[in-house]
Structure 1
Amino acid sequence: MTPTELAALLRAATRKVFAAHDLDVDLIPETVVVERPRSPEHGDYATNIALQLGKKAGVNPRELAAWLAEAFAAEDGVDSAEIAGPGFVNLRLAAAAQNQTVATVLTEREKYGRGDELAALDVNLEFVSANPTGPIHLGGTRWAAVGDALGRVLAARGAKVTREYYFNDHGEQINRFARSLLAAALGQPAPEDGYAGEYISEIAATVVDGNPGVLDQPEEERLETFRAVGVDLMFAHIKRTLHEFGTDFDVYTHENSMFDRGLVDEAIAELKANGNLYEADGAWWLRSTNYGDDKDRVVIKSDGNHAYIAGDVAYLKDKHDRGANHLIYMLGADHHGYVVRLKAAAAALGYDPETVEVLIGQMVNLVKDGTPVRMSKRAGTVITLDDLVEAVGVDAARYALIRSSIDVNIDIDLDLLRKQSSDNPVYYVQYAHARLSALSRTAAELGLEPSTEHLELLDDEAEGDLIRTIGDFSEVVATAATLREPHRVSRYLESLAGAYHRFYARCRVLPQGDEDVTDVHRARLALGEATRQVLANGLDLVGVSAPERM
């Protein structure tokens, strides 16, 4: 019995108690909270439903807890229910019911941990979206890992997810990029406001090789050649790098296309028609203060050029027009101002601003030998995705970036991520999977197959802890999806690996020497295989491999 199944059972029992005592059943929440006590001595699970409902129902919480404990204990699968403190109810499950989780995992396999509660969501998930003026930097690398993991987690709970990358290839930063390439091709230093690094010289040389005579073209023409070809080359590099990092996108949208396809003009026309765009001081302004912004925003400047928000408004409308009913933007720490601005733009276009969700991520620092790493030869001034992968590999890089909440700055210890020890979180989790895979191979060589026929024999404390940890997986994934926090999956995997290592140290799985094979061995093998499956499912959700050998 998983926590979700137990919660449903307790809710049904609570309804019976309320009906029997003529209490308002409408007070009972849709989901009864079920938690693992910190101390195993307090039971397998605990619920605070009596504390939550007692005063609302006009009953002393402890008295209500007594009624509920009696009802819970009478349910199939519950071995005992005891009152604790001011109104908590501690529960112990019958071994057969608790251990049924093992059979559930082995039946559902790759589907275990999945659900459909987010099936109504058609999510457009935009992340990374770095300017095509250089390699993906460390902040973008964090988004590449976290964004991909979030997309996997949302899809696992039923959402339709479109991963999208928005290339900001329109504006002054692209002009600076083109001037930097041209300067490199001419052997000149980078412009004062330009870009430097090996990659600029490499791209410039490639442009010249592929376009003989480009340096003899008129100034505007050759600058446009470096702009167009250079952006395409940078674009291709970024896509290749992300793919090698395990992050792919369903849609790549160019900012230029918002203008070339007339989508900016369409959005502006709509805002003018509905009165949310007005003219003042020779410019056109969005009435964003009507929708919570601290000031109205210029959309068309007095010189006739579009402000940056013009493309954002058109892009927001385009995403909705393509069928998305929920937009998630993953932006860097310096983009807090975009939260209200994007919601205001959505409201001005007639969409529910709550369908626009902005996640803000914090900084990443690399540390080696206890000292911050600050320089990249290729990029000149910043650490890139390529640098990190070269240093520690894809799996370690992804896992390290995903396992912390995006709300906090993180330090990535390069020395730690190279260690093959339990101090290294990704190694710790992957080693548990490899160890279980080896166990299965050895069992197969002995002709020993896992069996779920006698799971009631799994009555050791370490077995129970491992089974309950396995049972937590679906709820962890659901919570990670709801709160947009894929790091919860990583932290869970570390807990699961720990529970497995403790189980393995305490409970002999395979017979030794001439020892007879028993149903306990077969049941423990089933438990091991269920653990391996959940580890594999969880690692897949964060985009990290589940090696069978290490």
Structure 2
Amino acid sequence: MNPDALAAALLAVIVPLAEARREGSTDGLTVADLPLDRPKNRDHGDWASNAALKLAKAVGVNPRELAAEIAAGLEAVPGIASVEVAGPGFINIRLDAAAAGALAKTIVDAGASFGRNDSRADEIINLEFVSANPTGPIHLGGTRWAAVGDSLARILQSQGASVTREYYFNDHGAQIDRFARSLVAAYEGAPSPEDGYGGAYIADIARRVELAYDGDLAALSPAERQEAFRSIGVNFMFTEIKASLHEFGVDFDVYFHENELHQSGAVERAVARLRELGHIFEADGATWLRTTEFGDDKDRVVIKSDGQPAYISGDLAYYLNKRERGFNRCIIMLGADHHGYVRRLMAMCAAFDDEPGVNLQILIGQLVNLVKDGQPVRMSKRAGTVVTMEDLVEIVGKDAARYALARSSADSNLDIDLDVLQRRTNDNPVFYVQYAHARTHNVARNAAASDVDRSEFAPELLTHETESALLGALQEFPRIVAFAAEVREPHRVARYLEELAGLYHRWYDNCRVIPLGDEPVEPVHRTRLWLNDATGQVLRNGLDLLGVDAPERM
């Protein structure tokens, strides 16, 4: 019995009880109002409900008395073995073995669709992440966002949302000029500018520009030479960034160029729209947005007194552009150094008559530190100043890198121990989960060799305590994925997979799928194969949501 069916049974019991008393009201009550939770202590049953505590006042009865009446009604429902009332009115529900075990076949039959639904089909999401400046390789902060952002996109899509992965290509501004000057300096054999970029990659890009330029760079004026290195060099750097992301398993649907905002009149359109809404004013020769009306600590200059657009102008134009493209959810992932921007961005959203936290959502990611041999890893051989995505993948591989970066809450600092991630032991979390998946396939292969197949399914035979625990965890997968989508936290899926892997390993140690010696194949062996394969399916589905491979052999 799945939680939806159990909630429906709970509703069917409660409504007539309320009507019989003719006190209060339960009009409009739905299964969504009757949440079910997994008890932390499995001795308390398979499911727990606080429905009696929530509804006692409306029904007009003591919570514990109402709980007792609900329990009596639930005990008559097929598939429920027992119901107990605990404390002031909690209801603990235990399913019979057949009802609990039926889940194994449900999962195998559902396959890759188990855990997926269309509950977020009304959400058209623009998910902007990474968006590293094309002035150097992607550092660890951007790598974390690549892992978390792509995982979040997969999770949201699994719940029916339409998701566009977008990379904001910052090809406008002072940092691009510094990058171009650094390339020119490398070409000329001069030291890098004081505010420029260092690292071997700068010399690499400069040489590639020299080879690619159709003409004589030496004959160009300084301004022409810098423009040549800017345009060609940025293109080379961005091509490398996209290649690195692709190797990391991350591909974007849209690469949006900042220059487009300033060349297409988008800034002017955004200002005009805000002026229509009454939030633009002029002062001191500049054009201002009155963001203090929407919670910002000060009003913001949009167009400076010299006629040049201020930094926020690009944000205004870009947000309006996304909304005009039809997105009703704009999610932006920003690094820790952008925390101060959140208030002004939310004020900007409100100024457009949108709802902050709904139409615009900001996720802040914290720093990542690498540790090896107990010491911090600080330098990249190529970038010179930071550790890059390529460095991390070269050391531990794509799967370990993605999993390690996605398994912790993005809003907390993260220390990654490279020694742990390189081990093929259970203290390496990605190995632990992948090995559990590979083990399910090994069991299935050995079962086939021993003539154990899925020709029978007798779920009432799944009575061992490790089977009850494993089935309980499998049942949780759809809820975990749905909650991860709701709170925008992919790490919840990773932590769930680790728990599931542990329960599977314990089940494997206690329950045989293959008979010992000359013992005959019995229905319990075939039924356990269903449970084995169901666990492998959920592990595979969960790893796919994180963009991590599910190997069949290890």
Interval containing the TM-score (normalised by the shorter chain): over 0.9
The offset of 1:451, in angstroms, is 4.1
Candidates 142, 145, 148, aligned match of 1:143: 145
Secondary structure of 2:36's counterpart equals: coil
Q: 2:387 and 2:537 mapped to 1: Cα distance?
A: 36
Where does structure 2 lack aligned partners over 5 or more consecutive residues? none
The offset of 1:61, in angstroms, is 1.5
Deviations 1:216-258 (A, max 9, x none): 3101111001111111111101111001001111111010111
Counterpart AA for 1:2: N
Say whether 1:263 aligns with 2:299.
no
Counterpart AA for 1:397: A
Deviations 1:12-62 (A, max 9, x none): 322232223324114846232222222222112211222233245442211
Secondary structure of 1:379's counterpart equals: coil
Say whether 1:392 aligns with 2:393.
no
Question: What is the count of residue pairs matched by the alignment?
Answer: 550
Counterpart AA for 2:122: A
- The farther-off stretch of 44-53 and 89-98 is 44-53
Q: 2:162 and 2:126 mapped to 1: Cα distance?
A: 9
Counterpart AA for 1:31: D
Counterpart AA for 1:258: L
The offset of 1:424, in angstroms, is 0.6
2:418 match: 414
Counterpart AA for 1:246: G
The offset of 1:292, in angstroms, is 1.6
User: Contact 1:331 / 1:359 at 8 angstroms: preserved in 2?
Assistant: yes
Q: 2:347 and 2:335 mapped to 1: Cα distance?
A: 19
- Map 1:227-242; keep pairs closer than 5 Å: 227-242=230-245
1:122 match: 124
Candidates 268, 282, 285, aligned match of 1:282: 285
Candidates 460, 465, 480, aligned match of 2:464: 460
Q: 1:200 and 1:310 mapped to 2: Cα distance?
A: 31
User: Contact 2:201 / 2:383 at 8 angstroms: preserved in 1?
Assistant: yes
User: Contact 2:457 / 2:530 at 8 angstroms: preserved in 1?
Assistant: no
Secondary structure of 1:182's counterpart equals: helix
Say whether 1:75 aligns with 2:77.
yes
Counterpart AA for 1:376: S
2:46 match: 44
- The farther-off stretch of 381-390 and 14-23 is 14-23
Q: 1:25 and 1:247 mapped to 2: Cα distance?
A: 48
The offset of 1:452, in angstroms, is 5.3
Deviations 1:503-546 (A, max 9, x none): 11011111122110110000000100000001000000010000
1:365 match: 369
Secondary structure of 2:33's counterpart equals: coil
2:251 match: 248
Secondary structure of 2:549's counterpart equals: coil
User: Contact 1:8 / 1:31 at 8 angstroms: preserved in 2?
Assistant: no
Q: 1:253 and 1:389 mapped to 2: Cα distance?
A: 26
Deviations 1:106-159 (A, max 9, x none): 111000000111111001100111111111110111100000000000010111
1:327 match: 330
- Map 1:503-522; keep pairs closer than 5 Å: 503-522=507-526
User: Contact 1:124 / 1:161 at 8 angstroms: preserved in 2?
Assistant: yes
Deviations 1:442-468 (A, max 9, x none): 222233212453111111111111111
- The farther-off stretch of 75-84 and 526-535 is 75-84
Secondary structure of 1:427's counterpart equals: helix
Say whether 1:25 aligns with 2:18.
no
- Map 1:55-454; keep pairs closer than 5 Å: 55-211=57-213, 212-353=215-356, 354-451=358-455, 453-454=457-458
Secondary structure of 1:472's counterpart equals: helix
Q: 2:4 and 2:219 mapped to 1: Cα distance?
A: 70
Where in structure 1 do 4 or more consecutive aligned residues deviate above 4 Å? none
Where does structure 1 lack aligned partners over 5 or more consecutive residues? none
User: Contact 1:433 / 1:547 at 8 angstroms: preserved in 2?
Assistant: yes
- The farther-off stretch of 137-146 and 281-290 is 281-290
- The farther-off stretch of 495-504 and 45-54 is 45-54
Taking structure 1 as reference, are residues 10 and 451 closer, same or farther at Cα in structure 2, changes over 3 Å only? farther
Candidates 495, 501, 505, aligned match of 1:497: 501
Q: 1:425 and 1:381 mapped to 2: Cα distance?
A: 29
Say whether 1:537 aligns with 2:541.
yes
Q: 2:378 and 2:453 mapped to 1: Cα distance?
A: 53
The offset of 1:324, in angstroms, is 0.5
Secondary structure of 1:520's counterpart equals: helix
Counterpart AA for 2:26: V
1:16 match: 16
- The farther-off stretch of 203-212 and 139-148 is 203-212
2:473 match: 469
Say whether 1:34 aligns with 2:56.
no
Q: 1:307 and 1:46 mapped to 2: Cα distance?
A: 55
Deviations 1:414-461 (A, max 9, x none): 000011011011000000000111111122223321245311111111
Secondary structure of 1:118's counterpart equals: coil
Length-normalised TM-score, structure 2 = 0.97
Say whether 1:3 aligns with 2:3.
yes
- The farther-off stretch of 522-531 and 306-315 is 306-315
User: Contact 1:493 / 1:535 at 8 angstroms: preserved in 2?
Assistant: yes
Q: 2:233 and 2:13 mapped to 1: Cα distance?
A: 66
Deviations 1:335-373 (A, max 9, x none): 122222222222222333331110111111111111111
Identity of aligned residues (%): 57
Secondary structure of 1:412's counterpart equals: strand
Taking structure 1 as reference, are residues 27 and 56 closer, same or farther at Cα in structure 2, changes over 3 Å only? farther
Counterpart AA for 1:420: R
Secondary structure of 1:372's counterpart equals: strand
User: Contact 2:138 / 2:388 at 8 angstroms: preserved in 1?
Assistant: yes
Deviations 1:353-394 (A, max 9, x none): 331110111111111111111111211111111111011000
The offset of 1:302, in angstroms, is 1.2
Report the RMSD for the aligned CA atoms in angstroms: 1.4
Deviations 1:139-183 (A, max 9, x none): 111100000000000010111101100011111111111111111
User: Contact 1:121 / 1:159 at 8 angstroms: preserved in 2?
Assistant: yes
Secondary structure of 2:167's counterpart equals: strand
